[in-house]
Structure formats: C-alpha cells, structure tokens
C-alpha cells in the first residue's frame, strides 16, 4: 500500500523515512571524517584535497536531504500519518509530537545552514559536480564563523533528538510490545 492507512504507514512514507535516515547517518560519517582529516598535521596539499573531496560529498548529500525533506513535508500534508495507538499516555503523545516536529524543522534547518555557511566561506555548493548552487549570502568571514557554529549546534541537536527517537521506537517494540515500530517497517504484514 503506497499511502498511509488507519493503522500503518504506506510505502511512500516508509521509503522517505528510511532513505532520509540512511542519508543522515552518512552525513555524520562524512562530517566526522572531514573533521578528522582536517586536523591532520602537516596540512599537505593531498590532505587539503582529501578534506575538500569529503566536504564536497557532504554538501551534495545535504542538498539531496533538503530536496527529500520538501517531498517528505508535502507528502505528510497530503497523506496524514496513522493516529498514535489508543491508550498511549498523553506525555508520550506530546513527546512524540515534539520530537517529530523538531526533526522536520532540523531536516530543513541543517542543510540550509550548511548552504549559508558555504556561501559565507566562499566555498559554494556543487551538486555532485553537475551545477553550482547560487550563494545565499555574500562572502563574510565573521558571519561564516557564526554559521559554522550554528551548523554544528543543529547537528548535535538532531543527534540527541534522533537518539531519543530510536530509543522510543525500541521501547514501544520490546517493552510496550505495540505496533509503533512495526508501522514503519515495510516487510511487516498488515496490522490488525
């Protein structure tokens, strides 16, 4: 089933969810690798080029995530998700709504802050070498420093929220033994 039903997510929502999750994991890996390479001494040309290559991939994936975030948000407006299980305590419902809202916000804020950062540092974003994205702001060193800090702060926030998100899903599955996680898994048969 492509669209969501009253009891589970449809294939479109599931595909978007896991694709974005996978890309986000890749982003953390690339960012950390780039930081690791960036700290290497001495900073030879090949070290600089390796960092350049890692960051170029990171930027391209980031824009991909931004595009998928637009699709994701559009899809959510068009196809509302299944309601939370009956009997779920109100505080848990609020937690779920808050974390999901935060993740949607970060899904946009992170790539946009990165794009701004690339503009301010005068290292524009190229989408996989195909075309260069326009700069959102002009080159500005002090603005760049602020944007770097913002991008890192947002990344840390997303990491924390994602950990809570995963922990909650596992709690629902193994402790509450309900269908919350199952609803997002494509191979589970129809839930009654």
Partner 1 sequence: MAKANLVTLLTVLTVVLLSGMPSATVAEPGLWSVDHGQSWIRFRAVQAGARFSGEIQEFDAQIRFDPDDLGGSSANVRISAASIDTADRERDDVLRTDEWFHVSRFPVVTFTATDFARGENNSFETVGQLGVKGLSVNTPFRFTVTRTGDRLILDGTATLDRLRLKLGVGEWADTAWIGQNVEVLVHVEAAVTDG
Binding stretches for partner 1 (CB under 8 A):
44-46, 48-49, 52-53, 55-56, 121-126, 128-130, 132-133, 139, 141
CA distance 71 to 20: 11
Query: Considering beta carbons, is residue 87 or 138 the nearer one to partner 1?
Result: 138
* Helices (H), ranges, the chain: 11-38, 45-78, 90-120, 141-170
Query: Considering beta carbons, is residue 1 or 139 the nearer one to partner 1?
Result: 139
Residue 72 C-beta: closest distance to partner 1, Å: 26
* CA dihedral sign of residues 184, 187, 190, 191: negative
* CA dihedral sign of residues 66, 101, 183, 5: negative
Q: Which of 56, 50, 25 is nearest to 36 (CA)?
A: 50
Query: Considering beta carbons, is residue 104 or 127 the nearer one to partner 1?
Result: 127
Residue 45 C-beta: closest distance to partner 1, Å: 4
Residue 126 C-beta: closest distance to partner 1, Å: 3
Residue 153 C-beta: closest distance to partner 1, Å: 22
Query: Considering beta carbons, is residue 135 or 176 the nearer one to partner 1?
Result: 135
Under 8 Å CB-to-CB from 133, ≥6 apart: which residues?
A: 63, 115, 124, 125, 126, 127
Query: Considering beta carbons, is residue 93 or 122 the nearer one to partner 1?
Result: 122
Residue 56 C-beta: closest distance to partner 1, Å: 4
């Amino acid at each position: 089933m492509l669209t969501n039903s009253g009891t589970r997510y449809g294939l479109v929502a599931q595909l978007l969810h896991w694709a974005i999750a996978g890309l986000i994991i890749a982003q953390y890996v690339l960012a950390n690798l780039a930081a690791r390479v960036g700290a290497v001494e001495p900073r030879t040309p090949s070290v600089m080029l390796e960092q350049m290559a890692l960051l170029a991939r990171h930027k391209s994936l980031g824009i991909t995530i931004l595009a998928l975030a637009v699709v994701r948000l559009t899809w959510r407006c068009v196809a509302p998700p299944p309601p939370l299980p009956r009997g779920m305590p109100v505080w848990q419902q609020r937690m779920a709504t808050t974390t999901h809202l935060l993740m949607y916000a970060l899904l946009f804020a992170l790539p946009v802050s990165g794009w701004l950062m690339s503009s301010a540092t005068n290292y524009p974003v190229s989408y996989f070498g195909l075309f260069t994205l326009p700069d959102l702001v002009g080159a500005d060193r002090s603005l760049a420093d602020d944007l770097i800090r913002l991008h890192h702060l947002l990344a840390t926030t997303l990491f924390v929220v994602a950990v809570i998100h995963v922990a909650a899903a596992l709690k629902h599955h193994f402790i509450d033994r309900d269908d919350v996680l199952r609803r997002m898994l494509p191979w589970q048969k129809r839930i009654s």
